[in-house]
Amino acid sequence: MTRTRRGYIARRRRRKASSFIASFRGGPLKTQQDIRALASSHRDRNEQKRNCRRLWITRINSVIREGWVYYNYSKLIHDLYKRQLLLNRKILAQIVIANKNCLYLLSNEIIKKVNWKESAGVI
């Protein structure tokens, strides 16, 4: 039987492991430490995204509760999607930080265009 050659995937995995090993202090190869580092980096990247989203929602909601906008947070987001406005939470939070009046004008435009009986499904 002929010898099979391993593909590039195993080489790539070993090269990745050796690059992690180079960054650690201490003695010989620490494979458990490498595996832990990979798992932690993956987990913390997702946690960072979660924390940023939570921060954006808090910023938007704080301006709404100050009385600048005649909405609550969930209705504002619902009507943005209903109107097909391409403003995600990150952009809305940046608008809130830069100019609260802009969010006020935006919400007033949404209120003019959206009929609440339609959006609630009560027709």
Closest CA to 70 of 38, 111, 35: 111
Has residue 43 been placed in a domain? yes
Domain for residue 60, yes or no? yes
pLDDT at 32: 75
The DSSP 8-state label assigned to residue 3 in this structure reads P
- In a domain, residue 20? The reply is yes
Lowest-confidence segment of 13-17, 50-54, 78-82, 96-100 by average pLDDT = 13-17
Q: Which amino acid is at 122?
A: V
This prediction's pTM: 0.63
Is residue 1 domain-resident? no
Q: Is residue 123 part of a domain?
A: no
**Among the listed residues 49, 48, 69, 50, the one whose alpha carbon sits nearest the alpha carbon of residue 60:** 69
23 domain residue, yes or no? yes
User: How far is 74 from 55, CA to CA, in rounded Å?
Assistant: 16
Helix (H, G, I), strand (E, B) or coil at 99: coil
**Pure H helices in the chain:** 8-23, 31-66, 73-82, 89-98, 100-113, 116-120
Residue identified by tokens 């609550």 is 72
Identify whether 68 is part of a domain: yes
33 part of a folded domain = yes
Give residue 70's pLDDT band: very low, low, confident or very high (50, 70, 90): confident
Q: Across 35-39, 72-76, 89-93, which has the greatest mean pLDDT?
A: 89-93
Instruction: Quote the number of domains for the chain.
Output: 1
The arithmetic mean of pLDDT across residues 91-117, rounded, is 82
Residue 45 is given by DSSP the state: H
What mean pLDDT, rounded, does the chain reach? 79
Q: Which domain holds residue 30?
A: 6-118
